[in-house]
Each structure stands twice: as structure tokens, then as C-alpha cells.
Structure 1
Amino acid sequence: MPAPRTSASPRRELTAREAEALRALLAARAAAGAPGAPRPSAARPAPRRKSSARKRKQAARRRPAVRTPRERGPWRARLLLVGLATLLVPVLTVLLAPATSAPGSAGVAADPAGLALAARSTLLQDADAYRRLQAEVTARQAELQAAVEAERSARAAVATEQVTVGSAAADLYRASAETRMPVLGLSADAPDTTPDVLYRQALADRAAGDREAAVVRAERAEAAVQDAAARVAAAQDAVDAATAQARTVLAGVRDTVDGLGPAVAAQLAALDTVPAAGAQQERNTAALLRWQSYLAELAAAGIAPPPAAALADPASLPDGFSPALDDAGQAVPGVAWAVVGNRPVTVLPAETVAAVSSALSRLGRPYAAGAAGPDAFDCGGLTASAWLLAGYDLPATAAGQWAAAAVVPASQLQVGDLVVSDGGADVAVHLGEGEVVGASAATYQVGVRPLPGDARAVRVTLPAPATPNAPLPASASGLGACGALPAPAGPVSPAWGGWSNGRIPAEALCPVARGHALRCDAAAGYAAMGRAYEAAFGSPLCITDSYRSLAAQVDAFRRKPALAAVPGTSNHGWALAVDLCGGIDVAGTPQWTWMTEHAGRFGFVNPDWAQPGGEKPEPWHWEFGALL
């Protein structure tokens, strides 16, 4: 006989309605099938009597049949059973189906990848909702500012009218009766003064009208002040409502990440990565695996990262945790220690775990100045995006993030801290082991790189400083924003990112038109050039070629061997060249002339060999920068 099935967790208890329906079903079933229940007996044939039997049979045909309650009872019970059985399908499903595991227990381990996908979808939706609400807050604040300015103007108008009315009233109060009413000076004894008196009376009447008009204007100005004040109050209410909604969404994000668990966070870190090339890919992979191993260790030990608020004070930590100490024996706020086996392990807040996983999930994504995702990032955009998915709203720039978060000493640097370098021009997320993950203008991608030597750190999960941190001193590195290299003095190699010509993944590029893509800085320059071109000609740039994969280069060389470059040598294979049409492809046209005059402002040049009179004139071919 098979052993009875057991469950790791108790089944759901029946509701009162389900329990009542179940009792009714069992009672009806018992009534229908109980021993001794009355059943209709079989009719026995009566002795044959010719006349009387025939009469009774005919009479029975004339009379409607009447069934006794005893005959109707079984069918009524059967119908009741059918109805109750239909009602109780959910009940029986609950009773017979195996119980499911509670969230956070066996179910998490069963499918962390699926839970990670669901969590990522939820977090991205909430982040988008928060950004929309922030945009609404900004719009409402602009409306509030306009309303405040209108109220200020209205109050100034009231003050002006009050001065006018007050001055007129004071003059009238001090004036004599004849001054206020010159007509009182009319006299029959001096008829020659009548014109002068009437003139003065006309002036007095005009002054009285002016005073009345000033009073009306003052009353209207006061009403305008009241209206403006009401608009200010309404605008302030709108700002407060949008702000409260945004805070609610952000709190919901923190609630979501607080419940992820380390196994799900480990899967989250690998969801959206893009392959890099060569040594960069090896470094990215090693950092990702190290992070996932750390989370797997926590999961195996049954340690769930607590919320950041629970770890902010080392003197008041949840049960099972102890203060983390630096090399000098000082407690480190914002993290804790837990014992795994026979050694302490640093436990990060759930929000930090989510932020680090989100940052790692962007590995290989392209760099684009001013971008904050979801497909391209600059250094501040990456860190702001990662922490937004952990429930924290940060400024979009490295300098702003340095100013807004709590500074931590180098001796207490922890995984997840924001590492700011180059005088506040660059920022990345600390990964430990002397590495950070960030979006680099030098490599044109999100990747893992060494911890900068001049790094300063802030911890997002600690309370923000009462006043912004002082700006960092300027760096002498000569690098630009996000580690951008200085502008070259001459032609440069088109190779970038460690890729081979024509083997750059589409996810590492940015689109410029349907079916066309370039390296993201070239794409930004192309977009700006396109806007200027459309303003000049009323039509968009016409493009026929941009990035060409190696296979596309082989095909182009097969079809046009006299025009196409040898496969693997074309600058199209570096996503740094475009072929344009719509008049630009013909030298001397207004469109081509415009390009020769303006394209350089956006980084594009027609190389010497492609210019009219060059080695192989191609007026349609334009490259981003002076390339070797």
C-alpha cells in the first residue's frame, strides 16, 4: 500500500462558505445512498378482469398522474448532488491537489529564473511609473511657480491701487467743501464767475470718477489676488499629490526588492547582459560569477538580506546578525555580519543586492552620453538606473550623486557603494575585489574595470547628509565625463571595444534609422546632424548603409567589387561610417554642399579619398571622426 502523501506546508484552510457547501454535499450523498431509504416498489400485475381492468385503465389515461413525495425524493437528491458537486469543484481541488510552497521557501528554489523575470518586469514597470510621476511633479512645480508669480503680481497690483485710492481719499478728506463741490460757489450776485465755477465742478466730477474707478480697480485686484491664491493652493495640492504618488511607487519598489531573496537576485544579475569581447568578457563573467556565488552562499545558509533600514544602525540589528567591523575594529553602518559555517559573511541590505544585480545585468550595454537606459547608459545614468530599481531616486550625474549620499571612508568601502572619481566626473558601483562596474566613455560600454586610485565613496542606503557634500577637487587626469579620452590630434584607429571588424553585436550599438545602427556616440552625432539637416531642407537625412556585419561586407564585395572594401577592412564594420542619399550622394548639390559645411560640427567627415578628385570619389560616404 503506498504511503500517504505529505506536504511541506499545510494546505489552505476552507472558507466558511466552502465548508458549509462540503457539509451539504456529504449530507445529501448520505441521504441518497443510506440503507433503508424508501424506494418505489415494483408494480405487480393484477389478475386479469376483462371489464373492470379495462375501465380502470381508461380512467387512468384520463386522470393526470400524481407522484408522491416518496417517488420524487431520489431525483431531487441527485439534482442536489450535481449542483453541489459543481459548486464544490474548487473545494475538492484544494483538498486533493498537493499544497504549494509558501513564497520564500521551496518555491523560490524551484524556479528562481522565472521569479527573476517576473520581478524584473515589475521593477521596470514601477520605475517607468516613477519616472512619469517625477515628470508630472516637475510639470506641477512649474505650474506652481507660475501661480506664485501670478499671485505676486496680483498683490503688487493691489498695493498700487490701494496707494492710489488712499491718496485720493486723503486729498478728499483734507479738501474744503467748495473744493469738493465747486458748484456751491455759484452766486446770482456774481454771474460772471459761473463759467469758472462750472469748469471747476467738471474737474471735480472727473476726479470723483477717477476715485471710483480706482476703487473698482482695487476691488478687482483684490479678487484677482484671491483667485491667484486659490490657484497657488490648487497647484500646491497637485504637487503634493504627485509627490505622494511617486513616493508610494518608490516604496513599492523597495517592498519588491525586500522580498526577492538571494537566489532570485542572483538570476536577476544575468538577465540582460550583452557579450563583450576578449579580456573584457572574461572580466565581466568572473565578476558576475563571483556575485552569484556570494548570493548562492547566502541562499544555502538560509540568510535573507534585510531591508536597509534594519541595518542602518550597527547597535540595533535584527536577530542573527552582528555588526560588521573594519580593520580598525569600528562598526560599519549599513551592513552586517552573519555566520556561515565557521566564518563571518558580510550581509548587504536587500536594496543594495538589487542595485548591484541590476548594474551587473547591464554588462555589455553601450555607452551613450546623457543616457539612463534601458538600452544605453552613461556612468551616472547606469548608477541612477540601478538604484532606482532598488527603490532610491538619485541625481543623474556623478557629481550630483556624490553630493546627495552619505560619504564613507575608504576603510569601510563595501559592495554596492558608489565610487566617484576624476573630481566627480565619473561614477561606478563597487563590486569588491578591487573592481567596479560602470559605463565607460573610453570603452563605449558597461563593463567591469579596476577600482580607480582616486576613488571616493558614498553609501546610498544610509541617511542623506543634511547639507550636500562639498564638490570634489578637480582631477588632473585630463579625462572627460565618464572617463572620456581627450580629443585626438590626428586620425585614430577605428577599432573599439575589443571587437573584430563586422562582429559587433547589435545590442552594443544604437539605432539611427530603421535597419541602421552606429556606435552610440556616432549615433548621437548623426541624430543631431539629422535634426539640423531637416531644419534646413524640410526632410530627414536619407541613409542607405551604416553598420555592416562581416557577412554583409562579403555580400557587398561580391555584388560591387569595384566599390566595396575588402571584407573585414570597411569602416562600416566598425559602425562608424554611413552612406547617404537624397542628393548628398551627388557632389555639388545643395544637400552635399550643406554636408561639407556643417557635418563636421557633428563629428562626420567625408574622408580625403572619398572627396571629389580623391582616390575613389564617394560623395555619399561619411565617417565619424578622422579614421585610419
Structure 2
Amino acid sequence: MLSAREAQALREALALRAALAEGQSLTPAQAAALRTATAAALRTGPGAARPPARRGAAPGRPAARSTAARRAPSRSTTARPTVRPGRRRTARPARRTGVAWSTRLRVVALSTLLVPAVAALVLPGTDGGGLGDGPLDSTALALTAQTSLLEEAGRYRQLEQEVTQRQVELQQARDAEQAALLHLRDQQTAVGATAADLYRATAQQRYPLLGLTVHDDAATAGALLGQAVAERSGQVLTGEVLRARRSTLSLAVARDRVAHAESEVRAAAARADVVLATVRSQVDDLTPEITSALAGLGSTPVSGPQEERNQRATARWQQYLGRLAAAGIAPPPAAAITDPENLPAGFSPALSPAGQPVPGVVWAIVDTSPVTVLPAETVAAVSSALSQLGKPFVPGTSGPDTYDCGGFTAASWLLAGYAVPGTPQDQWAAGAAVPLADVQVGDLVHAPGGQDVGIYLGEGEVIGASAGTYQVSVQPLAAGSSATRVTLPAPAAANPPLPVAEAGACGAPLPPPGERTAAWGGWSNGQIPGDALCRLGVHRHALRCDAAASYGQLDAAYTAAFGTRLCITDSYRPFAAQVSAFTRKPKLAAVPGTSNHGWALAVDLCGGINVGGSVQWSWMRANAARFGFVQPAWASPGGEKPEPWHWEYGYIS
């Protein structure tokens, strides 16, 4: 029998299945509820007492590792590539905590069939019909995998912050060590100088009392004074020696602190490396069916031709993974294909147009034709990237809700077990450069000038967080780009900076000389679709996503100063609303189609800010620019058209 707690978890699991069907991501609490319901189903369902059958281990693979999640479809006649005998899988943690990832996937897959049946037996009014179909099962597995990978990525980010903090402490310890060393040297110099003076002094100078004589009473006073001075010099030397000894001890303590700080940095870095290895181990276990479903999770529909381009790229990727699945080909881990002379069985080196081996990818034969097989980590990175299509672009962010170009590529590859720097320039400097003619799906593609980066998708297309479209989108590969391959070892020396080019950060278009416009994204004034904007959390107010993020920071600072949130009356104003405002207030409202509100880059504020010279307005005048908001000259008190309530994101008018 199920306990009341388990029965409640089972009810929640049914709601979760409906969420899975809609492609929603699981929260940690929902994932825990699903696992509880799964355990209940496995314990009470038919055949629960029988352990699942295991296949024999493939040559070169640990026997304890399940391969059920990778079993090829029954219609396939192509042998699945396996690792050669004697070859060991690399980059595996020596000790795994919890249940093996493949086992977790198998349990969740089994639960998708058992949970509805058990629910129908123990929960009144439950109808389990219609559940357990294949696509839903793949989606459930993909959501479970995504949730687990996101948890590991969050853990790595925490450890990354710890490593950074430890490195700061290490630098402080080294600075203290250097200061102690300099102080010791000063003390040693002082001791040496005083000792040298004493060494060069004559006996008469060191011991003036030797000059006393009964025949010269006048010399007595001078001899006594000289003796006092000599004794004082001796005392000074003794003090300097003692201070030098203390400095020596201080230096030893400082060096111990440096050694301890270095140990802490190594320990934190090792823990972070274990998390990355765990992520790589998990993605190595994902089947093409699961990564195909992962690519379609969470993407946000967008308006216009961009949506069709995004969908075509996703469909092309899923077709590629479907072809691998149909042939029973499981992408190998990157570590298994680094040596073209020693590849897993069934694979051969991929060749460039010049006939040279392409490092980091292999070929397999499908229907008598060679097919490029990417590493499992690359497959996971590309699928994770595609699942973020439509997410807003915001400078300086790396997910999970908004991204800039460097943050997007770093976040995508982190979910594949690789930590890459967070900026396009650093990603180029630390990456393994490959010729653009040999670029492969998953490679980082750096636009001319090095200020923009994306992930190559094939067919001359790149996915990235673009400042041109202000969203994660599929864009054409820019001519003259450069490429790096994440799965290859980093170069011994950093790549030289790319030549300077006339390009904005993350693909932001440069305005024509002499012109200043607020236009963006290819939209017309007042015609920006809602899915290209971000809500401010107040009524239906929205702005361009980077402006919305900055507004949130401005709101937090204002709240800290005044105890109340910013009061807002207007933000993005669609064209129809501009027409209405101009009809009602022709002297105040801009001509429809010309308002900066129509670019989603202007706000009208209230609560005292609307009164020029007030405390609130003065605070905005002094602080708003720190968050990117300014009041144009024409709107300032005393301006051409005073509107103290009107503030814009950047100098756009």
C-alpha cells in the first residue's frame, strides 16, 4: 500500500506528466515529486520484485554500467560502434555518488509506464489512458536529463565562485608574503649596516672609556658621553636583530598561509573538475533520441521569418540525431576519439576536403555512406543551445533566462561538461583554433573582430545570443570568421587577438555616421511583438530585454533609498496606443510612429519623480545613469518640452 505522502506525490506526478507534454522544465521540487512517484510505482507495480535484466557489458566498458538506454531500434541492421577491447573510458570520476545515470534514466522510463497504472489502482477517479506514448517518454527523459544537468551546472557555478574567492585569498596571502619579505630585507639591511659600522670602528671608538686618564680630567666627560653613545648603538643593534628575527618568523607564517591558500585553491578546483567529469559522464549516457527531444525543450517562439529559420535548424539537427538512432550509433565520448589511430570499433577518422584527419570527430557508415559522428559532449551542447532559442539577449548574463553571446556559448558547453570563459575574446584566446574550412557542428565561431561568438550548426548557420536580434537566434555565418573546437586540448600559448573590425559587441549593428536612431531588431516603431520584449513585473509594462534588466536594477536601488518601488505609468507603447495618446493629448504625445516609447526604450515615471526638483527626481538625476537611464535635455526642467517624468534608456533623442 502507498502511504498518504506517496499517494500525494503520485497525484503530483500525473500533473507533471501534463507539464512534460507541454515541454515545461521541471523545478527541483517537481523532479523530487516525480522521483517519489516513480519509486512508489516501481515498488507496487507488476513485476516490481524482479530486477531488470542486464545486457552483457560491451568490450572495453565496465560491466556495472547499464546500456539499456542506448539500445538501438529493432528495425536497425547496422551494428552499433563499440569501444575496442582493452580501451578504457576516460574522464570518469573514480567514485560515483548516488544511482548511475543510465539507471536513473531507465527508472524514469519505466515509471512513465507504471505510474499511470498504479495511479489508476490506488487513486479514485484517475484515468491512466492515453499516457506512456513514445514521444512523451522521450520528452520525460529529456526533461529529467536537463534538470539533472542544470543542477550540476549550478553546483559548478558555486564551486567556480569558491575557486575565485580562494584565488583572491591566495593573492592576498602572496601580497602579505611579499610585504613580509621586503620588511625582513629592510631589517637585515639595517642590521648589516650597523654591524658593519661596528666592525670598522676602532677599539677606542667602540669602547671610549679606554681613553680615560688621570692626567686629563677634561677628557673624562667626553669619554663618558662617548661610552654612552656606543652602548646606545649596541642596544640599537640588539633591537634590530630582534626585529629581524620577528620578521623571519612573520615571513614563515606568511609562507605557510600561502601554502594553505594554494592547497585550498587546488581542492576547490578539484571539486569543480569532479562536477565537470560527472556532467560529461551523464551526457555520454544520453541516447540520440533523448538529445533530440532535449533540443526541442523550452525554446520560445518568436515572430517573423526568424521563427521559420529557428525551426528549420532544429528540425535539421533532430533529423541528424534520428539518423544516428535508426542506425544504432551512440555518439562516443570526446576522450575516446582524440587519437585517430586508436578509435572505437565501427568508427574511422573524419577527413577534411584535403584528405587530412579532422581532430575531434569521426565517421561511421550508414546505408553505405559515411556520416560524421560528433562527440557526445558536442551533441549535448548543441541540443542545449537549441533548447534556448528565443530567449532574450541581455548584456553580461549567462542564463538561464537571458544571455549575452559569450554567456550563451559558455552556458551551453557547461551543460556538456566543459568550462569555457565567459567572453568572446577569452573564448578565442583559450580555444583550440581550427581552420574555418574544417569547421564542424558545435565549434565556436568567432565573428571578425572577436566581439561576437556563436555555436556552428552546419549549413552555414550559427546559433548565438545576438545583440542584432536581441534574442537567441539562428544567424548566417559571417564571412571571415574564425573557429575553435572546445573538445580539443587548449593551446599551450593563448591565441593572438583577432584583427580589429568594425563590429559591435555580440553582433550589435553600428549606427551610420552622423545618425542616431533607437531602431533595433528590424522592427518598426510601435510594431515590436510582445515575445521580443521583457515584462517589468508591474501590470503589463515591458521594455527591450536589456532595458528591462537595467530597470529592475534601478528599481532595486530606488527601493533601497526610498522604501517603495518605482512608480511607472508608461513603457512600451504600441502604434495603436500612440495614436490614442496623440488623439487625447496632441500637445504632449509624439506623432504616432516617432515616440521613443514605440522602441520600448522609454518610461514615464510617477511617485514624485514626475515633479522637477523633488527629492525623488533629484535622486534619479544623480543615480539613474548608473543603470543606463537618462533624461533627455528637451524633457528636463527648463528644456524645450519639460517632461520630468520621461526617462530613456541611453541617449536616443
Give your verdict on TM over 0.5. yes
Aligned to 1:264: 290
**Partner residue in 1 for 2:336:** 310
Residue equivalent to 1:519:
544
Give the distance between the partners of 1:428 and 1:335, measured in 2 at CA: 19
Query: CA, structure 1 residues 237+273, in 2 after alignment: closer, same or farther (shift >3 Å)?
Result: same
Of 423, 431, 451, the residue aligned with 1:397 is 423
Aligned to 1:585: 610
Aligned-pair Cα RMSD in Å: 4.0
Quote the residue 1:283 is aligned against.
Answer: 309
2:176 & 2:613 partners in 1: Cα distance?
55
CA distance in 2, matches of 1:257, 1:547: 43
Q: Which runs of 5+ in 2 are unaligned?
A: 1-42, 55-66, 73-105, 110-133
Query: What is the one-letter code of the residue matched to 2:313?
Result: A
2:195 counterpart residue number: 169
Q: What's the secondary structure of 1:166's corresponding residue?
A: helix
Task: Within 5 Å, give how 1:381-530 maps onto structure 2.
Answer: 381-475=407-501, 478-487=502-511, 489-490=514-515, 492=517, 496=521, 501=526, 504-505=529-530, 508-509=533-534, 511=536, 517-523=542-548, 525-526=550-551
Deviations 1:369-426 (A, max 9, x none): 2222121111111111111111111122222212221222232121111111122121
Counterpart in 1 of 2:320? 294
Residue 203 of structure 1, aligned match among 223, 229, 236: 229
Q: Distance in 2 between matches of 1:442 and 1:323?
A: 38
- Structure 2 length as normaliser, TM-score? 0.72
Q: Is the 8 A contact 2:605 2:646 kept in 1?
A: yes
Query: Which string of whole-angstrom CA distances, capped at 9 and with x for unpartnered residues, describes residues 107-157 of structure 1?
Result: 566822122212212222222222222222222222222222222222222
Question: Is structure 2 residue 54 aligned with structure 1 residue 102?
Answer: no
Aligned to 1:19: none
Q: CA separation of 1:456/1:510 partners in 2, compared to 1, >3 Å: closer, same or farther?
A: farther
Distance 1:514 1:469, change over 3 A: farther
Conserved 8 A contact 1:123-1:389: yes
Moved more, 189-198 or 378-387: 189-198
Of 167-176 and 206-215, the range deviating more from structure 2:
167-176
**Alignment: residue pair count:** 536
Distance 1:486 1:529, change over 3 A: farther
Deviation at 1:256, TM superposition (A): 1.4
Q: Residue 622 of structure 1 aligns to a residue in which SS?
A: strand
1:200-239 mapped onto 2 (5 Å cutoff):
200-239=226-265
Partner of 2:379: 353
Q: Could you tell me which residue of structure 2 aligns to residue 13 of structure 1?
A: none
Q: Percent identity?
A: 50
Q: Report what 2:115 is aligned to.
A: none
Partner of 1:245: 271
Deviation at 1:597, TM superposition (A): 8.4
One-letter code of the match for 2:68? A
In structure 2, relative to structure 1, the CA distance for the partners of 1:584 and 1:370 (3 Å cut) is same
- Note if 1:543 corresponds to 2:567: yes
Tell me the CA shift for residue 297 of structure 1. Answer: 1.4
> Counterpart of 1:199 in structure 2: which amino acid?
L
Cα drift, residue 241 of structure 1: 1.0
Gaps of 5+ in 1: 1-88
Amino acid at match of 1:584: I
Q: Which moved more, 1:445-454 or 1:307-316?
A: 307-316
SS of the residue corresponding to residue 283 of structure 2 reads helix
Structure 1 residue 469: Cα displacement = 1.6
Deviation at 1:221, TM superposition (A): 0.9
1:544 partner letter = I
* Alpha carbons of structure 1 residues 549 and 272: separation in structure 2 relative to 1, 3 Å: farther
Alignment of 1:56-205 (within 5 A): 94-95=48-49, 102-105=68-71, 107=106, 111-188=137-214, 190-205=216-231
In the alignment, the residues of structure 2 paired with residue 238 and residue 600 of structure 1 have an alpha-carbon distance, to the nearest angstrom, of 40
Task: Provide the secondary structure at the position in 1 that maps to 2:70.
Answer: coil
How far apart are the structure 2 equivalents of 1:278 and 1:231?
Answer: 60
CA distance in 1, matches of 2:226, 2:51: 105
**Aligned equivalents of 1:92, 1:529: Cα separation in 2:** 58
**Cα gap change, 1:114 to 1:567, in 2 (>3 Å):** farther
Q: Cα 1:592–1:333, aligned 2, differ >3 Å: closer, same or farther?
A: same
Higher RCO structure, 1 or 2 (CA under 8 Å, sep 6+): 2
The Cα shift of 1:342 comes to 2.6
- What do residues 227-256 of structure 1 show as CA deviations (whole Å, max 9, x unaligned)? 111111111111111111111111111111
Cα 1:167/1:434, change in 2 over 3 Å:
closer
Q: Distance in 2 between matches of 1:438 and 1:91?
A: 45
| 2:610–2:617 contact (8 Å) kept in structure 1 | yes
Q: SS where residue 239 of structure 1 aligns? A: helix
1:321 maps to which residue?
A: 347
Q: What TM-score do the two structures reach when normalised by structure 1?
A: 0.75
